[in-house]
Amino acid sequence: MDKSRDHELILRCRRGDRQALGELIKEYERPIYNAAFRILGNRDDAADVTQTVFMKVFERIDQYNPEYKFFSWIYRIAINESINQRNRSKNEESYEDEHHSLESNPEDHIDADRLSDVIQAGLMQLQEDYRVVVVLRHFSEMSYHDISGILSIPEKTVKSRLYSARQLMKAQLAALGEM
């Protein structure tokens, strides 16, 4: 996420350069899709949110202030859209449709796919504001400062939410024999 490169691509997009648009989508499609999926727990919803995020970004591209990081701006839109989507669909059930049951013997071997499901199930058990900071920190690899900026909350709040979320994740992972 190179700030100056993002800025250059945006300027080119503003001038109607579709190649720059393609480069910008290519750069952010995957991270936005993954962040949305980790918040929503549903691939179809994550794809819809990803598309909506880019649509909103380019509807407002003239409002983008280059003094701020583009990735902070697009992530903020992505988080808001994911939460809106979650509220709209109330899709806790749809997550369970996609994944295996987690009721199993903790002594069973947990392979990578199952671990992924376990982590995702754990995330979905977290309250939304905890889940968002975990996603931004662990899956989007944001710093405390970036998370603070994206969510418009103090860094101290970022840390305390991370602590609470991790304690809950720890308890869930321990129940499955992973801690």
CA 3, 47, 81, 143: dihedral to nearest 10 degrees?
-40
CA 58/CA 14 separation, integer angstroms: 9
Q: How many residues of this chain interact with another protein, rule: CB under 8 A? A: 46
Min CB(94)–another protein separation in Å: 16
Chain centroid offset of residue 101 CA: 23
Q: Does 30 bind another protein (CB under 8 A)?
A: yes
Among 11, 83, 102, 153, binds another protein (CB under 8 A): 11
Q: Does 104 bind another protein (CB under 8 A)?
A: no
Token pair 């996603």 is found at: 135
The half-sphere exposure of 156 on its side-chain side, counting CA atoms within 13 A, is 0
Q: Does 138 bind another protein (CB under 8 A)?
A: yes
In Å, the largest CA–CA distance within the chain is: 59
For the record, the structure tokens of 118 come out as 């376990």
For the record, the structure tokens of 25 come out as 């989508």
Among 50, 72, 82, 85, binds another protein (CB under 8 A): 50
Q: Does 154 bind another protein (CB under 8 A)?
A: no
Helices (H) and strands (E) in the chain, counts: 9, 0
Min CB(84)–another protein separation in Å: 18
Choose one: 78-86, 101-109, 125-133, 167-175; the region binding another protein (CB under 8 A). 167-175
**Which residues, in sequence order, are CB contacts of 28 under 8 Å at separation 6+?**
54, 71, 74
Choose one: 78-86, 90-98, 100-108, 132-140; the region binding another protein (CB under 8 A). 132-140
Q: Does 40 bind another protein (CB under 8 A)?
A: no
Among 2, 3, 5, 17, binds another protein (CB under 8 A): 17
Query: Cβ(100)–Cβ(118) under 8 Å?
Result: no
Name the residues that contact another protein, by CB under 8 A: 7-8, 11, 13-18, 21-22, 25-26, 29-31, 33-34, 37, 43, 47, 50-51, 54-55, 58, 66, 112, 115-116, 119, 134, 137-139, 143-144, 159, 162-163, 166, 169-170, 173, 178-179
